[in-house]
Structure 1
């Protein structure tokens, strides 16, 4: 990140802090000066009321009671700078001078028999300018205190921004350090706030993405590996067909290769969709019987060549579709590699499902086909958290499957 979120948050908090300080300082100054002007205006107003009352009783103009206020009977008697304001038609004014005087002017019309008599009340309010005097005396201290408070506010803004953004920075660093093979363990996932929710969702999403990428890589690898053997066999048979006609055995191998490719593709797509296949409780014996009935219907096996030693119900936890792929593959291998006279025994004891078929020693060369497909079967079993083992012998081949029993 070119710009840290902490820097942005600190800049926002600092700017807001300075803005608030400047606004409140300006507001305090405005209130101080307005209060000062209102006080002076109140003094002039009270003096004007007293002079009006005195004039009505005695018919003359008395001097102002307040020593800072003077009454002028004519415009010519006013100071020149004040006279300019009166000539300009202003009856009330606040006048600043370069010589230090600060005047407040108020015109007053006294009721007389010959007509209103205008006088001018002029106050030199320098002694009352408390705000200006205050800044002259302790302005440096006030500025120092203000700067200190701003510095303290900026420090608090920095600490607050660091505290608020620190969990996000830790989360970002942990996500940045993740690799496809690393375990997703985000430290903020246990937080009860929005950051904890974000960490949980982010961890889940990254884990799902890694899982999808791993399945994609496995799918690509398995397609290349698992389909090469049957395609090689089929290509060899087709190449031999150019020199001689195909016999029944060759046609059977071609058909078996096609069946194997179809089964392999089904398995690969099932593994690629394994994330979306739910685990459920089902009867594994039902899957076995369904697979065997399909073979009997096709005439591939005779009933006396099959032997079952299974409980009436075999409840397991897994996925029915994936388990059918395992059973069909194992039984299909027994049919293809065992030979026409092979026998198949399916038994269950001590939590282990055993599929054992006899093998004609004369077909040892074709036994190599047993190794093909074992990787996919192991991956199917791992997907359901089952265990599977393969045991090849000179006269028998046995597959042992350890499913998860349903409680």
Structure 2
């Protein structure tokens, strides 16, 4: 990432440098040619003023004083390219003939009603800018390339120097210890990077402290809850008429198992495992289901059903979904499990007139959805009048 920042900064500086060089080169060319044209035009203007003064004093027109300027009494004597411009209505300006001459034209009217005379300057021999580029253009190009290379090297050095503190900060973040102080070298800088390093160190220290407190709380709660619940289950197992209480305790234990599994979800690695084996294991744990015939239990699963996730989380998800299906469907319910297009469907029948009832945690759709999401799965609940379907999309 930071290499990309450095390269992006270098590209920006280099692009700005090259653009600045091109702009100044273009400006230099424009100024040179405009200055040259203005100089020639100024010479023609002075020559025209001198001829008009001569005509005002003596009534005649002398030849131009400059050798490069010629006076034409008629447009017919002008060179063909210039005559074509005159016939098109042009009376002054620059006329460039590729591969031939370079003319500057100016009309001279000695009287308001008189026919124009034409001052024509062939300025090709005195074009300094063009000759300069022809004679020393190679040297100028080498100097320009050298300056551009120097500017690019300076841009690369600046990019490395400006991004170096961020690279150091990124390296320190990547190599942070699990415990200890989070003191970054850049936190003493008196700029935005120093402020960022200081705040980042404070935030990460607070985050690690909060994570430590959460882990301690999870460990303590797990121990303090599981021990009395185990004692309570053992006591209820020997007590008469305690079926409802035992079911409630079982639900609390299931709730705790799922909540602590979610708390540890980030530390549980994902790996391939056989989902069919998990389904069969969960079904065998359900009281009486092992004795059901095919009329009550339909298992339409592939012989090999490899998925990716965490087996412990998957077992908890299946136990809650299948257990809820059996309880919700009632004593005479039928259960069907099938797999198609990456979706495991659990469908239980619902007895007509049976009130919709669930027990304990098993109605926690949000927690079951979180349990599936921890593995990258998704779960969808589809209640109906005669059946209830749970669709688990696996990966």
Are the counterparts in 2 of residues 85 and 93 from structure 1 also a CA contact under 8 Å?
no
CA distance in 2, matches of 1:155, 1:179: 38
Task: Summarize the alignment of residues 114-263 of structure 1 with structure 2, pairs less than 5 Å apart.
Answer: 115-178=113-176, 180-181=178-179, 183-238=181-236, 242=240
- 2:2, 2:166 within 8 Å by CA — same for their partners in 1? no
- 1:359 matched residue in structure 2: none
| CA–CA separation in structure 1 for the residues paired with 2:226 and 2:115 | 122
My pick for the range that moved more, 100-109 or 172-181, is 172-181
Match of 1:320 in 2: none
SS in 2 for 1:76: helix
Q: Deviations over 1:291-336 (max 9, x none)?
A: xxxxxxxxxxxxxxxxxxxxxxxxxxxxxxxxxxxxxxxxxxxxxx
Counterparts of 2:7 and 2:91, CA distance in 1: 56
Residue 78 of structure 1 is matched in structure 2 by 78
Counterpart Cα distance in 1 of 2:10 and 2:46: 53
Aligned alpha-carbon RMSD (Å): 2.0
Which ranges of structure 1 fall in alignment gaps of 5 or more residues? 244-407
Q: Is the 8 A contact 1:105 1:120 kept in 2?
A: yes
Contact 2:2 2:163 in 1 (8 A): no
Task: Give the whole-Å Cα distance in 1 for the aligned partners of 2:156 and 2:174.
Answer: 25
| Unaligned residue ranges in structure 2 (runs of 5+) | 242-395
SS at match of 1:70: strand
Q: Secondary structure at the match of 1:55?
A: helix
Match runs of 1:8-407 below 5 Å: 8-111=8-111, 115-178=113-176, 180-181=178-179, 183-238=181-236, 242=240
The CA distance in 2 between the partners of 1:38 and 1:193, in whole Å, is 53
- CA–CA separation in structure 1 for the residues paired with 2:7 and 2:194: 22
Indicate the SS of the match to 1:110. Answer: coil
2: CA distance, partners of 1:241 / 1:86: 124
Structure 1 pair 199–2 and aligned structure 2 pair: CA distance change class (3 A): closer
Q: What is the CA distance between 1:126 and its match in structure 2?
A: 1.8
Q: Distance in 2 between matches of 1:150 and 1:140?
A: 15
Describe the superposition over 1:240-266 as per-residue Cα deviations: whole angstroms up to 9, x where unpaired: 6559xxxxxxxxxxxxxxxxxxxxxxx
Alignment coverage as a number of residue pairs: 241
Distance 2:87 2:239 in 1: 127
Worse overlay, 170-179 or 23-32: 170-179
In 2, Cα distance between equivalents of 1:80 and 1:188? 76
- Give TM-score scaled by structure 1 length: 0.56
| TM-score w.r.t. length of structure 2 | 0.58
| Higher Rg of the two aligned structures | 1
Alignment correspondent of 1:277: none
Q: Residues 35-64 of structure 1, C-alpha deviation per residue, up to 9 Å, x if partnerless?
A: 001100100000000000101111111100
What per-residue deviation string (whole Å, max 9, x for no partner) do you get for residues 349-393 of structure 1?
xxxxxxxxxxxxxxxxxxxxxxxxxxxxxxxxxxxxxxxxxxxxx
SS across alignment from 1:61: coil
Q: Distance between the aligned counterparts of 2:98 and 2:227, measured in 1? A: 107
For 1:19 and 1:174, the matched residues in 2 are separated by 37
**Correspondence for 1:341:** none
Q: SS at the partner of 1:103?
A: strand
Distance 1:99 1:229, change over 3 A: closer
After superposition, the Cα gap between the structure-2 partners of 1:186 and 1:127, relative to the gap in structure 1 and judged at 3 Å, is: same
User: For the residues of structure 1 that align with 2:233 and 2:85, how far apart are their CA atoms?
Assistant: 115
**Distance in 2 between the 1:116 and 1:89 partners?**
17
In 1: Cα distance, 2:227 partner to 2:103 partner: 110
Looking at structure 2, the residues matched to 175 and 2 of structure 1 have their Cα atoms a distance apart, in angstroms, of 13
Alpha carbons 2:2, 2:167 under 8 Å: kept: no
Deviates more, 1:210-219 or 1:47-56: 210-219
Indicate the SS of the match to 2:16.
Answer: helix
1:350 corresponding residue in structure 2: none
Shift of residue 145 of structure 1? 0.4
SS in 1 for 2:109: strand
Alpha-carbon distance, 1:238 to partner: 4.8
Query: How many Å apart are 1:71 and its aligned residue?
Result: 0.4
Distance 2:194 2:17 in 1: 29
